[in-house]
Amino acid sequence: MAILDVKNLEKHFGSTRVLNDISFSLEKGNALAIIGASGSGKTTLLRCLNFLEIPNQGVISVKDEVIFDAAARGRVSEREIRRRRLHFGLVFQSFNLFPQYTALGNVCLAGKLLAQERPDFQANKKEIFAEIEEKGRSLLAQMGLSDRAEHFPHQLSGGQQQRVAIARALALEPDILCFDEPTSALDPELTGEVLRVIRSLAEKETTMIIVTHEMAFARDVADQVIFMEGGYILEQGPAKEVIGNPKEERTKQFLARYREDA
């Protein structure tokens, strides 16, 4: 069963087309890796899925519900945009933690803000916040950070900050967890700890989209791989086939350059 279906997605910045006719689907419980050179449109695609950018064309459906159709007219409210974003948890390259909040505070912040829209919030504020914090501590424990819950971002290593960011993305129970180059801001010795967390999520059949430059990781962890170039999908298919035996010449050239640089 496809949990995500993207059809004919396009994104323009002025006269520049950054995404061109992007179509793919993702099965529930699968991991999709998106690979390609810088500027190929990978990050823009994630930003469109998360509604940080609004596509110019195309349709996005989650669990058979159309959540975006560029052909539909009319302004979409900020509240509706927030509702759509709940389908996608996004982990950024550069952590994006709030420095004034502890690890636990960062994990719980979005949940506490959303809770204020509940009709029973004022009557049950203390209990609601306690439940959110209990869940936040559980997620930090899952990330191996139980003893870092009250630490601020500047007191954490880069790998620990990224694991807090993963816990924060999981806190709202998104249908799809998205990673945008999750190890690119890390020193090599810290990369492994973040990749181990993502690998464990894949083993638990967490539905994920991972923009990554870690080819061996993509081959071993992802179910499917998309190769992008110039805003187009040039090849997609099972991970071991696309990375191990690509059909398109430009995919072969990209992977050859990666191996030379590795």
Q: What is residue 78's predicted lDDT score, i.e. its pLDDT?
A: 78
What are the start-end ranges of the H helices in the chain? 42-49, 78-85, 103-115, 121-142, 158-171, 188-203, 215-221, 239-244, 249-261
Q: Tens digit of pLDDT for each residue in 160-173?
A: 999 999 999 999 99
The residue ranking higher by pLDDT, 253 or 260, is 253
DSSP 131: H
Taking the C-alpha atoms of residue 229 and residue 42, their distance in angstroms, rounded to an integer, is: 9
Mean pLDDT of 30-44: 95
Neighbours of 197 (CB within 10 A): 19
261 pLDDT more than 70: no
262 pLDDT more than 80: no
Q: What is residue 260's predicted lDDT score, i.e. its pLDDT?
A: 54
159 pLDDT more than 80: yes
62 pLDDT more than 80: yes
State the pTM of this model: 0.92
Instruction: Return the structure tokens found at 259.
Output: 């191996």
Q: Indicate the average pLDDT of the chain.
A: 93
Taking the C-alpha atoms of residue 178 and residue 26, their distance in angstroms, rounded to an integer, is: 12
By DSSP bridging, strand 65-69 and strand 88-91 are: unpaired
**What percentage of residues in the chain have a pLDDT greater than 70?**
98
Q: What is residue 67's predicted lDDT score, i.e. its pLDDT?
A: 93
Q: Tens digit of pLDDT for each residue in 76-134?
A: 787 788 888 999 999 998 888 999 999 999 999 999 999 998 999 999 999 999 999 99
Q: What is residue 79's predicted lDDT score, i.e. its pLDDT?
A: 79
Which pLDDT band, with edges at 50, 70 and 90, does 1 fall under?
Answer: confident
Q: What is residue 45's predicted lDDT score, i.e. its pLDDT?
A: 97
Q: Which of 157, 204, 212, 224 is nearest to 180 (CA)?
A: 212
